[in-house]
Amino acid sequence: MAIVGIDLGTTNSLVSVWQEEKCTLIPNNLGEYLTPSVVGVDDNGEILVGRTAKERLISHPEYTAASFKRFMGTDKTFSLGGRVFSPSDLSSFVLKQLKTDAERFLGETVEEAVISVPAYFNDLQRNATKIAGELAGLRVDRIVNEPSAAALAYRFGKMQEDKTYLIFDFGGGTLDISIVDAFDNVIEITSVAGDNHLGGDDLNRVIAEKFLAVNYLDISQLTKEEWASVLKAAEKLKQRLSEQDRADMEMNVGGRLYRMELDAKGLLEVSSRVLESIGVPLQSALSDSGYGWDEIDELILVGGSSKMPLIQNYLQFLSGKKPLCSIDPDVAVAVGVGMYAGIKERMEAVKDMMLTDICPFTLGTEVVQEDRNAPEIMAPIIERNSVLPISRVSRYFTANPFQSQCTVTILQGEHRIAKQNLCLGKLEVPVPVGKSEKDREAIDVRYTYDINGILEIDVTVVSTQETFSKVIVNKSIQLSEEEIEKRREELQKLKIHPRDQEKNRLLLARGDRLFEENTGEIRKYVGKFLEEFTAALSTQDARTIEKSYVRTQELMDIIENSPKNSVVVRLEKYLYDEWRKNQ
């Protein structure tokens, strides 16, 4: 019984396993390592996961959900085709899919997994991830931080070296920067910083906006679908610019064809705003850790968007170091998680390998200022980036004469003004009333943040030594064992689409998208190809289906990958050649 490692990402998820002294990535049944973290419901009410669902994002936005990782541990729900799902439910579909892929690949059942989460995830978010695992029928004993996993992947085989890494994780929609100190058996996160809403998607957006600007188009002229297609085309342009110096994009808007050519310099110009925003979290991670650029030994790139030469060059410019990407940035975390799963499986003293966790934000309490009209301010107790477990105590005094009660407000955040921070809870503490106007009572407030990321507050009244405690839990998401079991059974009733026909469905979804993206003659052709392919499917003859599949895919590749004005000519040539062959 193998233990698998799972990188459950915002845009893509991966699964890996430790085999024969190395970490192996497990492909899904489309032969790809990356499974998009997208879940959809199809017309029959069946659940779709991965590429097929992603293709339907544009055509069926009401029936498809993406980026749900952002909402892990919150009350937000997603409504797909009349059913309501929590972020944990949706993640469980992805996990289940990965589990099935792993079982098919290994030929044995998989019951346990190690899952990676961002270092800044709090207890609620970690717990929601565990619940997702349980809903998918996986036991999740261990949650690993993504930067620790990436560091582990790069450290494999050279454990003796002391190194300080800066891990630059630039994904589709998030940027996480962590500084990790690795020596002997210890991998310690020194600081984390990031921008929750900065990623490759922003680059797509600025390219798309540039495209509109150079063609004198306005976003209000575009339908929602057209804008989505422009974004998709912009993404493609971006990817091609990683390989070549010059690339162009073409789009059909309102029956007219528009074009834009972009070279590396142009890309730099449009994306300068995005690059500017990278500097801020980078600086804050460095200053929090107390390291300068010259004390960072290696710069590790993680996440699909950091594959761009532009980003790599900019980082090299900032740091004066060549960034490391000898492990594909897309899979580095998955490789590390797989290694960790391997360590755990061998039972070879998992505890020997020490990956520490940190508290990613400052925790404090609310206090009044000398000037009572001024707003209440935040008094920090546990500073951000403290290594867990941690316990800190601070003493506070009552503010008013004859005060009989203190309210300890538990705050999380970095702002000086209390109201600007997140309130996690309140604790009312009765205190003995003073005898004279000058008497003040003291209370000791202790915050304990344990290794599981659970925050406990103990307030001791100094004069009476009476203690009041509170553990911060969010009841609405905290599920009991039975509730999880019940929910699992509910979800099991949902039919997950049979995976054997996956690639055919994917092709159909892709065809639907192409039909929407194009107009005129090309659209007619797409309709015709789809009709022929559906006809082939209904024969239920494996050979006919396979033959038609290959042909339809080739035709769609032509439509998608050749310049717009030559699509029809190329299609006609393909069909002519085919006809000649059959003669």
Partner 1 sequence: MNCYEVLGIEETYEIKRIKKAYAAKSREYHPEDHPEEFQVLHAAYEEALGRAKWMKAKAEMDAEKEDGGAEQEVSEVTSGENAAEEVGREPEPEEENAYGQWEEQFEQIADAGGRNAGINWMVRRLMEEFHILYMNETLRSKLYKWRDFFDEPFDNPRMPEVFASREFVEAWYHFLGSHHIFTTQIWQYFASVDGYRFNSEQYGIPRFPYHLYIEQVQSMERAIGWEREDAECPDAGSARYDGQSASQTENNPPIHSVNGWTEQNRRRTDEQEAGNAEETREERNAYRFVKKSGRRKLPKPLKVALYLLTCILGTVGGTILGLILGLIFG
Per rule CB under 8 A, is residue 219 in the interface with partner 1?
yes
Nearer to partner 1, 160 or 582 (CB): 160
Q: What phi and psi values does residue 447 have, to the nearest 5 degrees?
A: -105, 130
Strand pairing class (22-25; 38-41): unpaired
Residue 231 CA to chain centroid, in angstroms? Answer: 20
Give whichever of 218 and 489 is closer to partner 1, judged by the CB atom. 218
The Cβ of residue 141 has, within 10 Å, a number of other Cβ atoms equal to: 12
Q: How far apart are CA 165 and CA 183, in angstroms?
A: 11
8 A C-beta contact, residue 310 and residue 268: yes
- Is the Cβ of residue 66 or residue 315 nearer to partner 1 in the bound state? 315
The count of other CB atoms within 10 Å of the CB of residue 571 is 20
Span of 16-24, 73-81, 181-189, 465-473 interacting with partner 1 by CB under 8 A:
181-189
Our CB check for partner 1 shows the closer of 272 and 405 to be 272
Piece in contact with partner 1 (CB under 8 A), picked from 29-37, 213-221, 325-333, 513-521: 213-221
- 549 contributes a contact to partner 1 by CB under 8 A: no
Contacts of 120 (CB under 8 A, 6+ apart): 176, 192, 194, 360, 361
Q: Which residues ranging from 394 to 423 are in contact with partner 1 (CB under 8 A)?
A: 417
From the CB of 130, what's the least distance to partner 1, in Å? 16
158 binds partner 1 (CB under 8 A): no
Could you tell me the smallest distance in angstroms from the CB atom of residue 274 to partner 1? 9
Amino acid of residue 262: L
Q: Is 209 in the site for partner 1 (CB under 8 A)?
A: yes
**How far, in whole angstroms, is CA 136 from its chain's centroid?**
19
State which residue, 218 or 482, has the beta carbon closest to partner 1.
218
How many residues bind partner 1, per CB under 8 A? 44
Smallest gap from Cβ 101 to partner 1, in A, equals 31
Among 45, 254, 290, 563, binds partner 1 (CB under 8 A): 290
Q: Does residue 438 belong to the site contacting partner 1 (CB under 8 A)?
A: no
Distance in Å, CB of 469 to partner 1, minimum: 17
Residues numbered 298 to 317 that lie near partner 1 (CB under 8 A) are 309, 313-314, 316-317
Longest dimension (CA), the chain: 109
71-90 residues near partner 1, rule: CB under 8 A = none
Q: Of the two residues 375 and 401, which places its CB atom closer to partner 1 in the complex?
A: 375
Residue placing its CB nearer to partner 1 in the complex, 119 or 536:
119
Closest CA to 223 of 53, 43, 52, 59: 59
Choice between 86 and 289, CB closer to partner 1: 289
Spatial distance between the Cα atoms of 149 and 336, rounded to a whole number of angstroms: 4
Question: CB under 8 A: which stretch of 67-75, 240-248, 265-273, 574-582 binds partner 1?
Answer: 265-273
Tokens of 432: 């003995």
Nearer to partner 1, 185 or 566 (CB): 185
* Local structure of 476: helix, strand or coil: coil
Alpha-carbon torsion (383, 385, 387, 389), positive or negative:
positive
Q: Which is nearer to partner 1, 283 or 400 (CB)?
A: 283
Q: Is 296 helix (H, G, I), strand (E, B) or coil?
A: coil
Does 318 participate in binding partner 1 (rule CB under 8 A)?
yes
Binding partner 1 (rule: CB under 8 A), the pick from 280, 399, 433, 471 is: 280
Degrees (nearest 5) of the Cα angle 350, 353, 356?
Answer: 110
Judge contact between 454 and 471, C-beta under 8 A: yes
What does the alpha-carbon distance between residue 62 and residue 54 come to, in Å, rounded to a whole number?
Answer: 13
3-state class (DSSP) for residue 367: strand
Binding mask 352-391 for partner 1 (x = CB under 8 A): x-x-x----------------xxx-----------xxxxx
- Please report whether residue 283 would count as binding partner 1 according to CB under 8 A: yes
Listed in order, strand segments (DSSP E) in 208-303 are 246-253, 256-263, 298-302
Q: Which residue has the tokens 């575009």?
A: 222
- Residues numbered 225 to 254 that lie near partner 1 (CB under 8 A) are none
The SS3 assignment for 188 reads strand
Strand, coil or helix: 213: helix
Q: Write out the residues near partner 1 by the rule CB under 8 A.
A: 162, 181, 183-186, 209, 213, 218-220, 265, 268-269, 272, 275-280, 283, 290, 309, 313-314, 316-318, 351-352, 354, 356, 373-375, 387-391, 417, 450-451
